[in-house]
Structure 1
């Protein structure tokens, strides 16, 4: 394999270039799968429940926020806006204050009358005062915002960008007002557009930061360019495989560029971590072969262990997880293959360099850290243990609709507006089955109970309940209170219905989102635990079934992760679908460093070096590469802190903290563990 890569290195580089060009053509118009879209596809609920949930996708909430109190002139313009929206072929129906009706009298045949009167300014004031006293779902409590509930025509063939721009343009006709629009289809459209932009811009800025730090360490611009080309080729080819195999890219795969960045940069720096004696070799192939045999084995091992963390997702029955696991594993090995090919070019053309000043600074840092006093190391270990225990005690799983969006996002601002002013955007449908106990009075009791628990009712079939009805349906919305609180609310409602002798079931995107997102989060965490155990077992196998290597492999990888969880738990951290994947990536990053140190130690022992000399080599040579990769990765992740997507920004923040904790542990405690178990 080594000889093959060396012999055909230029042909293989050309092959990678061809694959890269083909991948760009495949990714010309990428399809991004949004989470709720996949939830509906994967749900095991009955067909009628799914159909009702799909209908939620066509629901839009739009609002006009007035800077001053609503007057008669503004109401007339808003009414014309309502009529304009209603006349659009792309819109099935519009509900607002301007067509809200109430039942007058208690006759056998109910008489419906509009709540808001616009025939004259006087009638407007009287009717609006009544609405002010009685309340309405279509007016905010401060009487400065109007709500329009829009049902998009599912069959309408319309460009979504033009559709949403058209609605915003219609709603913006009133001066001194702001417009807010939200809904599942709006969020999906926004996210799909943003994902593509983010992948491009974040990759660009991460590349720039990475290039600056790499150049500082190697002082060779060609080496920096080759590193970045390797990363970009690997990312593009990997995404194109997802597009070819699955017809699109899962939203969770937005994390993949960061994974490939970490794998490529780390492995390249370890492979070019030459000794002065290595560089004296005149035979280029021998240098390539020796480095691949010496460093390539732990590099391959880190690729396997990193892949294991994602391979565990394959056994999930949740499609996005399975696809994410498969594509990420493929991406890791594409990166490894690309690294070896480009590394052969680096050795052949001597495209490497050493910044002796930087190496000296790092060596001095390593010496200071590894020679700290015993009391200081005990204090540090106590801090790690404290945060580990704190993290374990505060473990919790929760999922919010806005988990994927940062608070500085326009999308988050819109969702929060409807949460604050109109009871939220999370759709839940209550279906009460017809039996002998079902009555209009009981449904009304249930509705009053729902309203007391801050459930906004958009539609109820109670008013048209007849013996022919199979069930009574209540379509409602709640605030984005998280899956834990939503489940508590559902339990509370179920208990109330049981007391009323009503048979109730639930549907809607909000309900399905809570159930499946919690399930997916648990599966990711279970996969992470399995990956950690598998890595430990792998070390036992490759070290002649010595159980001590299970402990040596696990402790340096578990402590930094749990300590990081503890540190973030201080700031009310919780596990969700958005960040559970992050820890699988962090695990791969941490394992990478510890495996290089342990493998380097084993290699020294096999060369019959003493334990002290082996540990000394590890701390002086291998640890230097570990620190370099950590610094490069930290700087590479800095642009991701400003991502609009919370999973990406949390990937950056969690990885940076975990990387620092892991380096400290690997420098101070891992050498002590190697001595102790030897």
Structure 2
């Protein structure tokens, strides 16, 4: 089969080039359907349990789509007159933000107190310029004692204030959010210039969503030229041929274009994860061309005519290149076991690109080489001389290498338990993003940026007025407040207790839940009646007053801890409340924490499936059961050892880290396949003993494997410079895996071959 295809390819270059370009052109038309999503929910399936819970919360209460401004004086406190006036102006201007529905800050915080038999409900810091210094100081003193304001609208040291703007987006959120974000950024710059003595930051879900889009464009602007630039330098240096570099990049670029075009026809959605697929295809697809060129140059250097050299190159590379592309595609297709649609799409797009790269490398690349006589000149193969020395050294010391490889593997794998699940949403972006800067600044001062929300139902209309319901709700809030890492709990009962105290002339003894249901209902009506538009209780009580929202604000912690708190709270509700009050926790932090944990489990299953399929393929391809199984050793060890290395140097495992095992397994098998194919060719066709077959494998394919490994490591290493954490982790972990796999294939695999040949 390989002999026939190699001959046919060499005889029909123009036809193959024409067919290849037509197919790529048709696929490319689909690129017009590509679009960038800014919705964090694109990482979750529509039937994801926590997404459904979040959707229910957003439908029942005011959706917490917001822009958050942080105001922090460089000296003094937020209650200094100049700072209060700046906060007041920012609050008023925030109402002009497109689609603004509610604005909360210390200057429009509604405080209630008793004056005789009358309950007064109004802001303490409204129009601060009209307040005397004494009134300002009194208001600051009261606010510092307000449980529903401290750690929500400002920190305990009064060094930072929050202006929270809730916006109501329609179904056209993808068009509306950029407009809202642009207004917020303009307002931020305006106040930075107006008040240089005050620090201003901007965050919120709208800014977080925009950061996703920004990550896509920043990767495209920085990583694309960096990847291509490095490929040009590496290919020219390693292949020693400018023409070979141009032809290789042509094939690789067409593979990327084909894959992205097909994705446009199928789906078209791009987020930071899917947008990384061109860089992965670019790196992986280079390997096929390197192997074709390396064997071609070896044939030319041995005196073969150009067409015969290409025919021989195709004959000896067709099976290993096919197998490597197949195993790589399987590794990426196993990302379909992921909980996240984003990783499923990434796997499919890269698998399509790898498949295209195979056909283009086997049919189009040789055709272009043949039609450029004299341009692709013979070049000495870099590293060829070192391969003979390396092969002899390994053959001579294979026992020592086996023992030392085992010891190093054990040492590296020992770092595996040091890893912990940590997938904090804000940390998806590096410190160059305004969203990350704002969240880090806020989290150092208040526990209000990581949260767990619960919809606590009473089971009946107007049931939130029932004292029995309120007492259980209060009990749950107190339990939550006493949990480690919980900084603040906002609960409806705080408002009811305050109003009960106000009605009884602010006597502290009445800061409790009333025993009378009608009395509670009157308090709710009394509180909401004077409130202006956008200041009602719709953010914490449902429209039919059957449920309330309780929010626990969590201090900066790990994803694992957020899951522990969520599970503990859900268990407490199950054990201590009637069935209508039992609920599941939700929030962006909870959703991503669950996704990261579930993704690890699903990717382990995906890795098992990939391992099983690759094992079967290699056993059938090599026609040797023992050799097929043994070939998995130098491929599984690097994947496991990589997470050991990661445990030593970082230890934080996120959403993308779980996917590395599947995709890396498909990639690292490539070197093993190429090495073993040459080894078996020497054993079966040339009747060489094991030692000579190992020398033959090193001399024929060793240089190409070193070249492709260098390209893989540097190619994936460029992703480590991505400002988006998932892509950065993906690149770093894969680069480490490929480095360890190359060492395993060059040191451990030949030693194992020597061992089993003697047995």
TM-score (norm 2): 0.81
The 1:395–1:140 alpha-carbon spacing in structure 2 relative to 1, beyond 3 Å, is closer
The 1:407–1:24 alpha-carbon spacing in structure 2 relative to 1, beyond 3 Å, is farther
1:323 corresponds to which of 342, 345, 357: 345
The 1:127–1:266 alpha-carbon spacing in structure 2 relative to 1, beyond 3 Å, is same
Q: Does the residue aligned with 1:507 lie in a helix, a strand or coil?
A: coil
For 1:166, the equivalent position in structure 2 comes to 186
Q: How does 1:518-529 map to 2 (within 5 A)?
A: 518-529=597-608
Q: Does the residue aligned with 1:590 lie in a helix, a strand or coil?
A: helix
For 2:674, the equivalent position in structure 1 comes to 596
User: Is this contact kept in 2: 1:397–1:521, CA < 8 A?
Assistant: no
User: Is this contact kept in 2: 1:93–1:152, CA < 8 A?
Assistant: yes
For 2:453, the equivalent position in structure 1 comes to 429
Shift of residue 198, structure 1, vs aligned partner: 0.7
Write the distance in 2 (CA, Å) between the matches of 1:116 and 1:579.
48
For 1:61, the equivalent position in structure 2 comes to 68
1:145 corresponds to which of 160, 163, 167: 160
For 1:94, the equivalent position in structure 2 comes to 103
For 2:492, the equivalent position in structure 1 comes to 460
2:223 corresponds to which of 181, 202, 205: 202
User: Is this contact kept in 1: 2:657–2:733, CA < 8 A?
Assistant: no
User: Is this contact kept in 2: 1:207–1:636, CA < 8 A?
Assistant: no
Shift of residue 223, structure 1, vs aligned partner: 1.2
Q: Does the residue aligned with 1:651 lie in a helix, a strand or coil?
A: helix
1:114-171 alpha-carbon deviations (Å, 9 max, x no partner): 2446322221122213334553521123322110111112138642452332342454
Write the distance in 1 (CA, Å) between the matches of 2:28 and 2:198.
46
1:531 corresponds to which of 607, 610, 613: 610
Write the distance in 2 (CA, Å) between the matches of 1:175 and 1:315.
51
Report the more deviating stretch, 510-519 or 214-223. 510-519
1:406-457 alpha-carbon deviations (Å, 9 max, x no partner): 3554433222122222314234321222158843333234334434442544
Write the distance in 1 (CA, Å) between the matches of 2:310 and 2:282.
23
The 1:28–1:437 alpha-carbon spacing in structure 2 relative to 1, beyond 3 Å, is same
Write the distance in 2 (CA, Å) between the matches of 1:203 and 1:24.
21
Write the distance in 1 (CA, Å) between the matches of 2:52 and 2:658.
30
1:85 corresponds to which of 89, 94, 98: 94
Q: Does the residue aligned with 2:161 lie in a helix, a strand or coil?
A: strand
Report the more deviating stretch, 229-238 or 436-445. 436-445
1:343 paired with 2:366, answer yes
Write the distance in 2 (CA, Å) between the matches of 1:46 and 1:636.
35
Write the distance in 1 (CA, Å) between the matches of 2:330 and 2:611.
9
1:483 paired with 2:492, answer no
1:622 paired with 2:701, answer yes
Write the distance in 2 (CA, Å) between the matches of 1:218 and 1:321.
34
The 1:571–1:358 alpha-carbon spacing in structure 2 relative to 1, beyond 3 Å, is closer
User: Is this contact kept in 1: 2:474–2:493, CA < 8 A?
Assistant: no
Write the distance in 2 (CA, Å) between the matches of 1:105 and 1:448.
26
Write the distance in 1 (CA, Å) between the matches of 2:752 and 2:53.
59
1:52 paired with 2:76, answer no
1:470 paired with 2:546, answer yes
Q: How does 1:531-550 map to 2 (within 5 A)?
A: 531-544=610-623, 546-550=624-628
1:217 corresponds to which of 230, 235, 238: 238
User: Is this contact kept in 2: 1:548–1:677, CA < 8 A?
Assistant: no
Write the distance in 2 (CA, Å) between the matches of 1:343 and 1:458.
68
Write the distance in 1 (CA, Å) between the matches of 2:189 and 2:570.
43
For structure 1, list consecutive stretches of 5 or more residues without a partner in the other structure: none
Report the more deviating stretch, 36-45 or 424-433. 36-45
For structure 2, list consecutive stretches of 5 or more residues without a partner in the other structure: 460-465, 497-519, 523-543
Write the distance in 1 (CA, Å) between the matches of 2:155 and 2:616.
59
The Cα RMSD (Å) is 3.2
1:273-318 alpha-carbon deviations (Å, 9 max, x no partner): 2364554565544333322221121011001111111222335565
2:436 corresponds to which of 412, 430, 434: 412
Q: How does 1:181-580 map to 2 (within 5 A)?
A: 181-274=202-295, 276-277=298-299, 279-280=301-302, 283-315=305-337, 318-340=340-362, 341-349=364-372, 351=376, 353-355=378-380, 358-361=383-386, 363-364=388-389, 367-368=392-393, 371-372=396-397, 374-375=399-400, 377-391=402-416, 393-394=417-418, 396-407=420-431, 409-434=433-458, 438-453=468-483, 454-457=486-489, 460=492, 463=495, 466=521, 469-479=545-555, 481-498=557-574, 500-501=576-577, 503-505=581-583, 506-544=585-623, 546-580=624-658
Q: Does the residue aligned with 1:94 lie in a helix, a strand or coil?
A: strand
Shift of residue 569, structure 1, vs aligned partner: 1.1
Query: Which one has the largest radius of gyration?
Result: 2
User: Is this contact kept in 2: 1:65–1:177, CA < 8 A?
Assistant: yes
1:647-675 alpha-carbon deviations (Å, 9 max, x no partner): 33223332332222222221222112223
Q: Does the residue aligned with 1:635 lie in a helix, a strand or coil?
A: helix
User: Is this contact kept in 1: 2:678–2:697, CA < 8 A?
Assistant: yes
Write the distance in 1 (CA, Å) between the matches of 2:93 and 2:8.
69
The 1:14–1:260 alpha-carbon spacing in structure 2 relative to 1, beyond 3 Å, is same
The alignment of Structure 1 onto Structure 2 pairs a total of residues equal to 676
Report the more deviating stretch, 195-204 or 472-481. 472-481
User: Is this contact kept in 2: 1:601–1:618, CA < 8 A?
Assistant: yes
Shift of residue 615, structure 1, vs aligned partner: 1.7
Shift of residue 264, structure 1, vs aligned partner: 1.7
Q: Does the residue aligned with 1:41 lie in a helix, a strand or coil?
A: coil
